[in-house]
Structure 1
Amino acid sequence: MGDPIDISFIEVGNSVSDIRSETITIKSLPECTNLLLRAFEVEEDQNPIDPSDVVRQLLTRLQGADPNDPSLSPDNNNSNFGHWHFTAGSITISTALDRWESVGSVAFACQLIAAALRIVKIARHVCFNRNVARDNLISEVYIGILFEKLWKIWENSHPQSSTSTTPDQDILRKQLQTIRKDQLQAWAKEHSIPIVNENQKECNKDSKFYIPP
């Protein structure tokens, strides 16, 4: 296996913005990747539930991925690093993520994605240190499968949010709903636009503008 490789500095944040930044570095991801991340940006996790034990086990295995593990065979290292962690035993992406309730929340889903992206970064680092080609990392294939599976179970669990409006529209509406009257009053006055609330009454200074659904 050679000398140990330091991976202690390799990290991926759990936020949607951190994940989005990392996905830019992966050459081929399914189209649903951006749809899922946009949906996660809108979702507020109002009713999170605990993930299933199987999904917890999958996350633990992904987070513990270490190329210096002496039990890893050559077939599961270098450009193939991550294969064992995504497929060992009966716990795989397909079997563990059978429905959104098994994941439980956007926050936990982001932990899964971040752990998978970290494996991709580790695989690149390993291949660089061992002078191994890193053009076809198997971990990049699995991260694509993970995004597809998460999007599928998300759609099944959130049909209305997936079809009624686009994630971009929802984000924009939330941004607009936080704008205070005094922030737009000058603009409205400049353009001779009267400002009223949903009841056609003058807004109080501290009220928010009404943004119709």
Structure 2
Amino acid sequence: MALGLELARTVTDGKIPSDELLSDISKFAIPGLFSSALPESVALPTELRDTLQGLVEPTHTALKNAGVMPMLKEGVEVAEQLPLLINEVADGARDFIPQNEAVSTAARRAYRARRTLILKYENDGIDESEDIAALLRESERVMRMKRPMINFDLQLKEVKGGHATPLLAPPLDIATRAEDLLGAQTARERLLYMEADETVDALLKWLEEGRL
């Protein structure tokens, strides 16, 4: 897997694999019975390497300008994290708690949603919506450097409630029966899901604006 990732990284950089990498790949790909017939190392002649590099560069440049190569490169960066994750699982890890710095870096580099709604609750003591919005604006600036014509719509909306508000709404059938018996306003107040309902309204409005 490590060899495959290294090869993918080289390709996305628009380069021809090094002699050392080619040697490692040949040893891995060819069974041991036949590998003894191979030279200890693979070495591309300089002239051949330069010719291949000249053939690769136009295609790499075209894919880069089209925005394809940056996406492939990001995919390789994500895949490079898999061996570490596999090792952690093999060692008995059950929880995945990324460091704040890692999350911030990933958000700046890889977040590509064109429309985003961030809901900030008035009484949320552990709210991080402002920090998230700042990270996503940085991500927008990074993406615009690569593709200037792309438009992003990032909205930060403050609504009533606290951190647990989205969890307070009762099941839909119970809420419907209560509203039929008590009226919508009274049911929402007594069952304590008035603020959760306002959250739903904010989401529906955002979806309608985007025609989603």
Q: TM-score, normalised by structure 1?
A: 0.24
Q: TM-score, normalised by structure 2?
A: 0.24
Ranked by relative contact order (alpha carbons within 8 Å, sequence separation 6 or more), the top structure is 1
Relative to its length, the structure with more helix (as a share) is 2
